[in-house]
Structure 1
């Protein structure tokens, strides 16, 4: 009779449980299962990236730029926004404006808790090169996390107060509303942030919410940490949804190229 052992603690398991998952129900074993799945996913995505880039380069004429790049670029695994780009409805625009009016009123009355507060403190800006590289990585992702901005765009007391503090005196509500309204794009991603357009966030950086200016997803943080010690800026980035690779780009600080995905992709 076969003896089924947990892949982590090596304790015996019933066949029906092992067939469901080769890890038993103990907490350390379940953590090991998750870690193994993450590693497997990363390995498969890296294989898709490598295969896709190699096939693409074999189909192209070699350039001097190829020779100047190292043979081991950075791989970045990121989420991906695959929502449809649609005309931004008037009701969503007006929902944002109504939210902004409430936030403006809370700033005027100095009531930071009158509306939801997302993030109060603005982190120091990245250096120019890091900002460029992270921006290109976010371009690969196309704003998977930005969709959470919905019709509030994470605008809160601290974000708007920071923006209006740049004026010599407190601007009127009409001025602030018009400042933001003019950046609402004609098209944005369905059920995403109202400012999330085809070319990314339609707002200038100084008008974006503190949350938006601070936030980095796990994939972006991992990429930034790798970038810091890599000795190269050449990046092969994959935008993924679940276990599927949906988008691949190759970029450095000066150029970006979209790469066709080699088949079969992850499933």
Structure 2
């Protein structure tokens, strides 16, 4: 039994109570789309709420910086908060390197069964990775790569699509060149429990060598930061904080230049 019927909140038509409890609408395609939009709006509200809570928590700690920036520029800066994680660096493990190269080699074996001309447009890296706003640089650098720790179990997020994306972007790229590319960028020290390529200065791979996910993933605070700074004409102060408080403060000028400062 599906239980008593109730009106769908989007079209007003009859829907089973069980269906509404599970998917939130009657099941019609237009109602499914309306539900998706509503959930996206709710997520946006939650993102902004999380950002506001974080901003309030760090504002007092960086008040001297905010006052100094306003005095120097004549404009009140936008304050944004991001997470922070200090990687614990350990000497590179040959076994981890070998496992990663074996992973890439296996992906290449599968990828190179497909001729370059047959690689679909879905792997077009240029289309998948639009240019990031300037503020993403100081935000992610100040964070120190909290999301990169997940790369440990995911082999730096390198998948079959990553390899095909490289081949589509660089016609003639060989299996050997791909393996050598990664091997040449192994850092001497890596984040303990984190991505193999997360070294002392951040990711040791050039942006164009990374998996697409690494270039496009945004945490909720970063998404909120991008929203808040869109169209901002004044300076932006990025504060990276963990459970112990604010750890890194960066200032970005309107022209995109930025620097870490004492706080």
Q: TM-score range by the shorter chain?
A: 0.5 to 0.7
Give the conservation status (yes or no) of the 8 Å contact 2:123–2:168: no
1-side partners of 2:232 and 2:258: how far apart?
Answer: 18
TM score, norm. by length of structure 1: 0.67
2-side partners of 1:137 and 1:195: how far apart?
Answer: 19
Report the CA distance between 1:67 and its aligned residue: 2.2
1:92-103 matches, cutoff 5 A: 92-103=96-107
Partner of 1:250: 250
Is 1:159 the counterpart of 2:162? The answer is yes
Give the conservation status (yes or no) of the 8 Å contact 2:129–2:215: no
Is 1:235 the counterpart of 2:236? The answer is yes
1:1-267 matches, cutoff 5 A: 45-55=54-64, 66-71=71-76, 73-110=77-114, 122=125, 123-126=128-131, 130=133, 132-150=134-152, 152-171=155-174, 173-232=175-234, 234-241=235-242, 243-252=243-252, 253-260=256-263
2-side partners of 1:244 and 1:139: how far apart?
Answer: 19
1-side partners of 2:51 and 2:183: how far apart?
Answer: 41
Give the conservation status (yes or no) of the 8 Å contact 1:249–1:257: yes
Report the CA distance between 1:258 and its aligned residue: 3.1
Report the CA distance between 1:121 and its aligned residue: 6.7
Give the conservation status (yes or no) of the 8 Å contact 2:150–2:195: yes
Report the CA distance between 1:235 and its aligned residue: 2.2
The runs of 5 or more residues in structure 1 that have no matched partner are 1-34, 112-118, 261-267
State the Cα deviation string for residues 72-128 of structure 1 (Å, max 9, x = none): x222221222331222211111111111111111101239xxxxxxx967434226x
Partner of 2:15: none
Over 3 Å counting, the alpha-carbon distance change for 1:54 and 1:240 in structure 2 is closer
Task: State the number of aligned residues.
Answer: 207
The runs of 5 or more residues in structure 2 that have no matched partner are 1-44, 116-121
| Structure ranking higher in helix proportion | 2
Query: Residue 153 of structure 1 aligns to a residue in which SS?
Result: helix
1-side partners of 2:74 and 2:222: how far apart?
Answer: 22
Runs of 4+ in 1 over 4 A off after TM superposition: 41-45, 119-122
1-side partners of 2:216 and 2:124: how far apart?
Answer: 9
Give the conservation status (yes or no) of the 8 Å contact 1:153–1:209: yes
TM score, norm. by length of structure 2: 0.68
